[in-house]
A and B are shown apart, each in its own frame.
Chain A
Amino acid sequence: MTSKLDSKIPEGNLEQKWTKYRSTVPLVNPANKRSLEVLIIGSGLAGASAAASLAELGYKVKVFCFQDSARRAHSIAAQGGINAAKNYQNDGDSTYRLFYDTIKGGDYRAREANVYRLAEVSANIIDQCVASGVPFAREYGGLLSNRSFGGTQVQRTFYAAGQTGQQLLLGAYSGLQRQVGMGNVKMYARHEMLEVVTIDGVCRGIIARDLTTGNLERHFGHAVLLCTGGYGNVFYLSTNAMGSNVTAAWKAHKKGAMMANPCFTQIHPTCIPVSGDHQSKLTLMSESLRNDGRIWVPAKKEDAVALRENRIKPNDIKEEDRDYYLERRYPAFGNLVPRDVASRAAKERCDAGFGVNKTGEAVFLDFAFNTIRYGNMEATKKGMHNPTQDQIVEMGRAVVKEKYGNLFDMYQQITGVNPYEQPMMIYPAVHYTMGGLWVDYNLMTNIPGLYALGEANFSEHGANRLGASALMQGLADGYFVIPYTIGAYLNKEIMTKAIPTDHEAFVAAENKVKGTIDQLMGIKGTKSVDYFHKRLGLIMWNKCGMARSSEELTKAISDIQTLRKEFWSDVRVPGDANEMNSELEKAVRVADFLELGELMCKDALTRNESCGGHFREEYQTEEGEAMRDDENYKYVAAWEYFEGNTWELHKEDLVYENIKIAQRSYK
């Protein structure tokens, strides 16, 4: 471990680390909390839950979000569910098992202590959410319902139809708005953070732009929490919201905060395929669909060709001519293998020529088998002895509708195809970024006073995140981790008076932001921001996406450098800087993506192994599975930024004392 990276993991047994830490962490007395100011950037699950919890404790909190309301943050779009080791199903779940599944699912590239803490607090999250009025799905007995997600063999996922993220976010948002109403939180909607202010190496505030007026504002804080989500939009097309961006994290990175494992991106296997050049974003079809949907392509290439040319329909292909390739390759987990494995398997079949839509980049997700199974179960329940096939299908469809209705409606709305009658077509798409700002056990970056929570940090998911674990992490960080760990820092800050924002560091930071904005407005080139963003996305998807190689990554780096130069000489940002200007907002974000993309490729190029979402073609087994290299790469790659887009790599070794590292197998 290099001296710059101190993970601050408490001593002691894994099971007792967090309990002991909580009992011994220094506290801040209530009177002092009232004079300590915390700035929270982002109002998703991590940000909203942190804001509500810290305000309840008595801290003075300001929350910033670029949307028009805190309730719009992209956590709202999470569909499937949230994991918790409640063992309500009596199927053998435990804190240890959730911990183990998460470490294994992450392909042994996450910290044991952080992940164990996450598993430990997971149960409290469900309690907290129910108490705050989140209407989770329930069984007829009135108790909570669970389902399965990929990479696990227990049912530990809590859900609210296909809108779990919405319900959890609205729960956290209501807690936040309650504190706003009580005057404990000041909300700054339609504001975007554009710089971190540091004084003597310590984080002291931010510069934010009011997106309605264009005014730049200076805000002091004893601590700043970046809860700004992931950077999947570096690929242009992803399941992220249009506004999701890396800018806040990237500004922190350029001020000295290290970026960890930036190349670890999650490509989600079940998204609606690209339909044309106009495509602005991709839509996820929840992983929960893999509980009842079977994934297949034709076993015969001529059938695939016939499908692409619209000569036959999927239902014309006989059962024996279908290749349920996940069930074939991974009989133990079948359609519920983790996301990275499922995505690569889809790409493998499509690359081999078995893709089923006009672009050749789609596979089927078919509900017919389980519709019939459910239909037969309903018939049995109702005591129908000789139901007709139509009756079975009708009753089965009703069950499927109850479980996934909103997802089926969304699919039909986007594609114009009825998924109750024909199998869905899906293809992998960028969904989540495991990498992010490096943080220690306290969730603090290597800049004192600057924290990163939720998807914005790197810490719990290793090289691949399991389904339904993002919501868990966001709320764990905000509700149950930061309220304790922030005390370890703020107890030493009680003598720090609020620093006036006419301090030279604030002036300099504001001038820097103004300089960047003036420069972007002044280029007056010929191409729109989207033009550059799309080109960057293509480079990233083709060369730093589902499969990577030394040769392609090297080329990507030079392509990105060239594109960046072109951007800074030919982008056109219309309008003025002192008004609402969405093109300027995009330009600032894309400028940062153009730097991040290079670092991602560099990180991928340096990691000469395959693990989780990072698949290097040079490093695979004969069966095409990822080949890890624990001897040389069992570390967190933390990158330090230097002027002019150069970076230095720092390594944090990962120590496994409680889990025996093994080749990950889902066979």
Chain B
Amino acid sequence: MEKNLNLSLKVWRQKNAKDKGQFETYKVNDISTDMSFLEMFDVLNERLIVDGKEPIAFDHDCREGICGMCSMFINGRPHGPKQGVTTCQLHMRSFNDGDTIVVEPWRASPFPVIKDLVVDRSAFDRIISAGGFISINTGNAQDANSLPIPKDDADESFAAASCIGCGACVAACKNASAMLFVSAKVSQLALLPQGQPERKQRVMEMVAQMDSEGFGSCTNTGACSAECPKEISLTHIARMNRDYISAELSSTK
């Protein structure tokens, strides 16, 4: 049942990329447990505006857990305390009256802070541009059912493809590694027959781009998968590693 909470928020404020940034503390009262975490920020921002202060900048768009834009680091965990949930789908019933909640942006050098809680994740787009696709031009396709795919493969490919590209995996990782994100795309396409012609090249190029963006190495801690709002499995990293090694060993380039 709905109740109301009084909370303390410690929020990272940073005017722009060059600013050093610091925490500010805000009290918010009468927060309904039916509210989403971002709706609580709406309430706080509304108050800041009316008081003549600058509202807190944060990324968000669909507010239904699928666009991957929201990105708050809440009490030391990306997207907060609940498993398999984005910040926008986190509801205040997950908190208790009197709680102090610490909210930071993603912390990783390949994701520089733009303002307050907003970071630049364009590195992910560049990794996809390096190889996260099947090279087929519009109009070249054969009939869709001429290519049967075992249901289990299609399902696992789909599970990998459900990655929303939010960057929680990088934020959760002590090394700021992007292996879960990259492996999800590699795995999705490696599991499908359409993905085979470019399979080796794809993994080599995506990994090379990932490294050049400055993401760290994987040390198999598993925090990425544990914090992933879409619960992308670590087995994709294993698959990517296998593909990478076999691509490198058999490379003729």
Answer whether residue B99 sits at the interface, using C-beta atoms and an 8 A cutoff: no
- Contact in complex: B91, A138 (CB < 8 Å): no
Minimum C-beta distance from B246 to chain A (A) = 20
Q: Interface digits, B146-188 against A, CB 8 Å rule (1 contact, 0 not)?
A: 0111110011011001101100000000000000000000001
Answer whether residue B226 sits at the interface, using C-beta atoms and an 8 A cutoff: no
- Contact in complex: A77, B62 (CB < 8 Å): yes
Residues of B within 8 A of A177 (CB): 125, 128-129, 132-133
A410/B125 contact (C-beta < 8 A), A69-B165, A71-B68, A530-B42 known = no
Minimum C-beta distance from A174 to chain B (A) = 4
Q: Please tell me the size bucket of the interface on A.
A: 35 or more
Q: B residues 47-103 with Cβ under 8 Å of A?
A: 48-50, 52-55, 57, 59-69, 84-85, 89, 91, 93
Contact of A131 among B43, B59, B194 (CB under 8 A): B194
Residues of B within 8 A of A166 (CB): 66, 162, 164
Assembly CA distance A85 to B139 (angstroms): 17
Q: A residues 156-170 with Cβ under 8 Å of B?
A: 160-161, 163, 165-167, 170
Residues of B within 8 A of A243 (CB): 61
What are 7 A-B pairs with beta-carbon distances under 8 A?
A: A72-B68, A124-B141, A128-B141, A131-B140, A174-B134, A241-B67, A283-B64
- Contact in complex: B46, A139 (CB < 8 Å): no
Minimum C-beta distance from B197 to chain A (A) = 12
Contact of B161 among A68, A170, A178, A580 (CB under 8 A): A170
- Contact in complex: B158, A160 (CB < 8 Å): yes
Residues of B within 8 A of A410 (CB): 64-65, 89
- Contact in complex: A132, B133 (CB < 8 Å): yes
Residues of B within 8 A of A416 (CB): 34, 91, 93
Answer whether residue B35 sits at the interface, using C-beta atoms and an 8 A cutoff: yes
Residues of A within 8 A of B234 (CB): none
Answer whether residue B144 sits at the interface, using C-beta atoms and an 8 A cutoff: yes
Answer whether residue B122 sits at the interface, using C-beta atoms and an 8 A cutoff: yes
Residues of B within 8 A of A189 (CB): 122, 125
Minimum C-beta distance from B6 to chain A (A) = 15
- Contact in complex: B114, A72 (CB < 8 Å): no
Answer whether residue B244 sits at the interface, using C-beta atoms and an 8 A cutoff: no
Answer whether residue A242 sits at the interface, using C-beta atoms and an 8 A cutoff: yes
Answer whether residue B124 sits at the interface, using C-beta atoms and an 8 A cutoff: yes
Contact of A413 among B35, B67, B85 (CB under 8 A): B85
Assembly CA distance A297 to B153 (angstroms): 42
Top 5 A-B pairs, shortest CB-CB distance: A142-B148, A181-B129, A131-B141, A174-B133, A127-B141
A130/B194 contact (C-beta < 8 A), A56-B137, A280-B63 known = yes
Answer whether residue A541 sits at the interface, using C-beta atoms and an 8 A cutoff: no
Q: Interface digits, A35-63 against B, CB 8 Å rule (1 contact, 0 not)?
A: 00000000000000100110010000000
Residues of B within 8 A of A149 (CB): none
Answer whether residue B36 sits at the interface, using C-beta atoms and an 8 A cutoff: yes
- Contact in complex: B121, A68 (CB < 8 Å): yes
- Contact in complex: A135, B161 (CB < 8 Å): yes
A-B contact number at CB 8 A? 225
Residues of B within 8 A of A142 (CB): 148-151, 154
- Contact in complex: A56, B91 (CB < 8 Å): no
Answer whether residue B252 sits at the interface, using C-beta atoms and an 8 A cutoff: no
Minimum C-beta distance from B248 to chain A (A) = 21
A579/B16 contact (C-beta < 8 A), A76-B66, A166-B66, A177-B132 known = yes
A241/B154 contact (C-beta < 8 A), A56-B138, A77-B66 known = no
What residue in chain A is nearest B63 (Cβ atoms)? A281
Assembly CA distance A178 to B136 (angstroms): 10
- Contact in complex: B93, A212 (CB < 8 Å): no
Answer whether residue A414 sits at the interface, using C-beta atoms and an 8 A cutoff: yes
Answer whether residue B145 sits at the interface, using C-beta atoms and an 8 A cutoff: yes
Assembly CA distance A69 to B91 (angstroms): 26
Residues of B within 8 A of A132 (CB): 133-134, 136, 141, 194
Answer whether residue B38 sits at the interface, using C-beta atoms and an 8 A cutoff: yes
Residues of A within 8 A of B118 (CB): 580
- Contact in complex: A86, B55 (CB < 8 Å): no
Residues of B within 8 A of A323 (CB): none
Residues of A within 8 A of B188 (CB): 133, 135
- Contact in complex: B133, A135 (CB < 8 Å): no
Answer whether residue B11 sits at the interface, using C-beta atoms and an 8 A cutoff: no
Minimum C-beta distance from A334 to chain B (A) = 27
Instruction: Count residues of chain B with CB under 8 A from any CB of chain A.
Output: 80
Contact of A278 among B39, B122, B124, B189 (CB under 8 A): B39
Assembly CA distance A574 to B54 (angstroms): 6
Answer whether residue B29 sits at the interface, using C-beta atoms and an 8 A cutoff: no
Residues of B within 8 A of A130 (CB): 141, 144, 147, 194
A275/B63 contact (C-beta < 8 A), A56-B138, A131-B140, A177-B125 known = no
Answer whether residue A193 sits at the interface, using C-beta atoms and an 8 A cutoff: no
Contact of B138 among A53, A136, A143, A181 (CB under 8 A): A53
- Contact in complex: A178, B135 (CB < 8 Å): yes
What residue in chain B is nearest A138 (Cβ atoms)? B154
Minimum C-beta distance from B140 to chain A (A) = 7
Q: A residues 525-541 with Cβ under 8 Å of B?
A: 526-528, 530-531
Contact of B151 among A139, A284, A531 (CB under 8 A): A139
- Contact in complex: A133, B192 (CB < 8 Å): yes
- Contact in complex: A131, B142 (CB < 8 Å): yes
Q: B residues 208-226 with Cβ under 8 Å of A?
A: none
A143/B57 contact (C-beta < 8 A), A133-B189, A278-B39, A416-B93 known = no
Minimum C-beta distance from A165 to chain B (A) = 8
Q: A residues 571-609 with Cβ under 8 Å of B?
A: 572, 574-575, 579-580, 582-583
Assembly CA distance A152 to B38 (angstroms): 38
A528/B49 contact (C-beta < 8 A), A130-B194, A135-B192, A275-B34 known = yes
A69/B124 contact (C-beta < 8 A), A133-B195, A161-B158 known = yes
Answer whether residue B130 sits at the interface, using C-beta atoms and an 8 A cutoff: yes
A69/B42 contact (C-beta < 8 A), A127-B141, A241-B67 known = no
Assembly CA distance A133 to B136 (angstroms): 10
What residue in chain B is nearest A279 (Cβ atoms)? B39
- Contact in complex: A187, B128 (CB < 8 Å): no
- Contact in complex: B43, A580 (CB < 8 Å): no
Assembly CA distance A526 to B121 (angstroms): 35
Minimum C-beta distance from B208 to chain A (A) = 12
- Contact in complex: B129, A278 (CB < 8 Å): no
Contact of B133 among A175, A239, A241, A279 (CB under 8 A): A175
Assembly CA distance A276 to B91 (angstroms): 14
Minimum C-beta distance from A175 to chain B (A) = 6
Residues of B within 8 A of A161 (CB): 158
Answer whether residue B120 sits at the interface, using C-beta atoms and an 8 A cutoff: yes
